[in-house]
Chain A
Amino acid sequence: VQTKLLVAFLAMVVLLVLLGGMGLRVLGGMSHQVEELIELQRKIAAYRQVQHNTTSQLYGVSTGLLVPDERTLDGLLRQLSQFGYDLDRLSHVAQDEVDILGQVRDDYDRFIQIVGEAVALARAGHIEAAREVQLTLAGPLAERLERLTNQLVNVAEADMLERITLSDATYARWRTGVIVMVLGSVVLALGLGYVFSWSLVRPILRIEDRLGKIAAGDFSERVEVASRDELGALAGNVNRMSAELDRLYRQIAERGGELERSVKELEALGEVSQAVNSSLELEVVLETIASHAMALASADAAIFWSWDETAGLFHMQASRNLTPSMAEALASRPIGLGDGAVGLAGARRAAVQIPDVEADPGYSFAEIVRPAGYRAVLGLPLLREATLFGGLVLVRKTPGSFAAETVALVQTLANQSVLAIQNATLFQELAEKSRQVEEASRHKSEFLANMSHELRTPLNAILGFTELIQDGIYGEVNEKVAQQLARVQANGKHLLGLINDVLDLAKIEAGQLELQQGPVALGAAVRAIESGTAALALAKKLELVIDLEPGLPVIEGDERRLTQVLLNLVGNAIKFTEKGTVTISAKHSGETVEIAVGDTGPGIPAADQERIFEAFHQLDSSSTRRQGGTGLGLAIARQIVELHGGEIGVESEPGRGSRFFFTLPIRAQRRSAA
């Protein structure tokens, strides 16, 4: 730009200098012409002087000859020499007319000679002779001189005229020249200004336009500025900036795309993982995985195959977007290891790609895949610890390989599906087990109810007739018969107890037992047990000790069920103790009461202390036979205590007796029977 500005201004300056030079030259020319004119003027004056001198010379000569005194003659001669000076001076002035001047000089020399002769003659007194000389010689010569000088004057005047004309012409020419030059300068200056301003403004406008587009995010074009000045450099920088921004934008967009892909992948994994964890419906999970795998791999359809190890065949388990005809075609064809994409993937335990089914003569399923318009196939094995579970096949309508990272990602999803398949299988097994258990439980309940009913009916006859006989309805009963009847009745009642225990337990296990809550005075309950069991203890010669803490609180609970628990524990203690004491104690601390039944019986090994609270667990089956009892009492006791929100336990050592205890909250915890 600077150069351009300098060039422009230099051009202007050169024009001005040219103009100035031209003016100076014109002025110089004019001045020279004026000098020449002055010179000519002088020359003309000189010529005129010569002319005048010549005339006055002639006149002087004539006069001198007429009056030939000495003074006149001297004057004449002085005049002649004066004329010689004038001529001499003339010779300096008029060099142009040298020829004429030469003639004038020659004529003048002769004239002087003649005049001198005439003067000499006159002085000699030969006036006539002098006059004769003057007339014959000086007169024509003077005329000639006069004519010559006239000629000189004419020539000089013509010369001057010519010079003046010439000067006018020169002036006119220079004037035109200057005007043309000035106009040219103006036009040139304006032109330069215009061109120069445009040469500045246009690139700036282009650059501005480009910058505007860059600001709007359009990096596609370059700004073209041909010049190599600062603007060219600016444009170059703008282009470089644009290119760099473009590159950065692309990079950012690429990164953004990568990030978006990563997010999508993570989302897909997350959703698949969630589906695997939240849904045990295998179809739902597999369809979720299939749709995500399709989205990630840009596939058009997906098929899940399960591997049947025993049959050595793959079975279609789920599919997505599969045309019915293709599904049918696939189903009608047994697929083993090595068959199709899934078979190959299963056989190789690795992903298998068929980039273009039409270009792969080795792909045996082309005639099934091709009609549906699929070109590329990706087969993935479903593996877990090298065990084949099945395969996932993705198909795409555009031919070409699936990218390695896509394959890896889809393989991750496929691995999730293995988990889902395992989960679903386990869940199905679990559900089946649970259903079986439930059914078994229902059967058990029904069985128990039926058994209860069917046992009670004959038992009713046994106990009923026994009582009728005992009451003498069928006649007198002797002592011996009465004793045996009592045994029949006792066994019948034991049987009834068994039935009731079994039903209790069944009800408790079925969650059907409900406590009849109410205030329970433990002291009174213990006393009732004491009076109920005293006879039994006495029969075995056992001491029955009651140890009640004074001020036992009244608790809330099911009195009948709690009495059942206590009766069971005291009954057991009496039953298993051969000698010594059975102690019933009760105390309270804080919000709980503890009731304990101690004995001096054989004790219970530590290993059995927990098992005895399970149903049908007396120490050994022989003891059941020996000691009687249903083996259900402790199990029922534990359930009842726990229903009250308490705990039951035993402290015992073999040979040192046992101490069974249970705790109860003073304020009942309303717990459901579950």
Chain B
Amino acid sequence: MSQRILVIEDQPDNRTILRDLLTAAGFVVLEAEDGEAGIATALAERPDLILMDIQMPIVDGYAATRQIKAAPGMAAVPIIAVTSHALAGDEAKTRAAGCDGYIAKPFSPRALLAEVRRFLATGPG
């Protein structure tokens, strides 16, 4: 059974890139347009991995990550932050919120795919 990846991203183009990239790579892609929907989908679907944007309406990526990680049985699901917050200290902030990985935008789809595969092969690092 193919692995499921939840993409939480408010920007449609970026959502499309991730969907096309991951679908082409053989993953099942779940999508959410904001943090709140992302949390609901994550808890309902229990994906194998979550790609999390940070700056989003309603509930941002930090809060969403914290809530998902705090939910029962969800702590082991790897969450990779995919964000335009690429300044010094931004990665540390996502780690503090509970993210397991960090990819700055603009990202190379190839590099992102490699990172996703690494996480799914070894479990959350």
Contact = CB atoms under 8 A, between A and B. Distances in A.
Contact of B110 (A471, A492, A496): A471
B109 to A, nearest CB: 5
A64 to B, nearest CB: 199
B14 A460 contact: yes
A461 B21 contact: no
Given A457-B14, A457-B84, A474-B20, A464 B110 contact: no
Output the residue of B14, B55, B106 with the most chain A CB within 10 A.
Answer: B106
Contacts of A449: 87
Interface residues of A, number: 26
Contact of A507 (B21, B87, B110): B87
B52 to A, nearest CB: 15
Interface in A544-564: none
Interface residues of B, number: 20
Contacts of B24: 468, 473
A457 B17 contact: no
Contacts of A462: 106
A154 to B, nearest CB: 174
B108 interface: yes
A598 to B, nearest CB: 34
A170 interface: no
Contacts of A453: 55, 84-86
B84 A456 contact: yes
Contacts of A467: 108-110
Contacts of B87: 449, 452, 503, 507
B114 interface: no
Given A449-B87, A461-B14, A507-B87, A492 B106 contact: yes
Contacts of A512: 88
Interface in B80-116: 84-88, 104-110
Nearest to A453: B84
A506 B106 CA distance: 19
A531 B87 CA distance: 29
A464 B84 contact: no
Contacts of B21: 464, 468, 473
Interface in A452-511: 452-454, 456-465, 467-468, 471, 473-474, 492, 496, 503, 507
The 6 closest A-B pairs by CB, nearest first: A460-B106, A456-B84, A464-B17, A461-B13, A460-B105, A453-B84
25 contacts: A452-B86, A453-B55, A453-B85, A453-B86, A454-B84, A456-B84, A460-B105, A460-B107, A461-B13, A461-B17, A463-B108, A464-B13, A464-B106, A465-B13, A467-B108, A468-B17, A468-B24, A471-B110, A473-B20, A474-B20, A492-B106, A496-B106, A503-B87, A512-B88, A514-B88
